[in-house]
Amino acid sequence: MSAAELQERPDVEIDLVEQWRIESLSRAGYDLESATVLAASHEVDLHFAIRLLESGCPVDLALQILL
């Protein structure tokens, strides 16, 4: 693997993780825009974000809590 490939790899891995987070948040009930914002906010706990909706919290309030 070349040095250039090693430098690009973290970006690819970050993109894959964010895509997985978007899919998980969307399945939980977040709209695509909200899921994308939350997924890119790495300090947001994915499991907590999902539990909020599972507990009946509206998306708008969950976003206020999380962001």
Residue type (1 letter), 42:
H
Residue 12 is predicted with a pLDDT of: 85
Residue 3 is predicted with a pLDDT of: 54
Distance of alpha carbon 44 from its chain centroid, rounded?
Answer: 8
Judge whether 38 and 49 are in contact, CB under 8 Å.
Answer: yes
Residue 44 DSSP code:
S
pLDDT tens column, 16-53: 999 999 999 999 999 999 999 999 999 999 999 999 99
Residue extents of the structural domains in the chain:
3-66
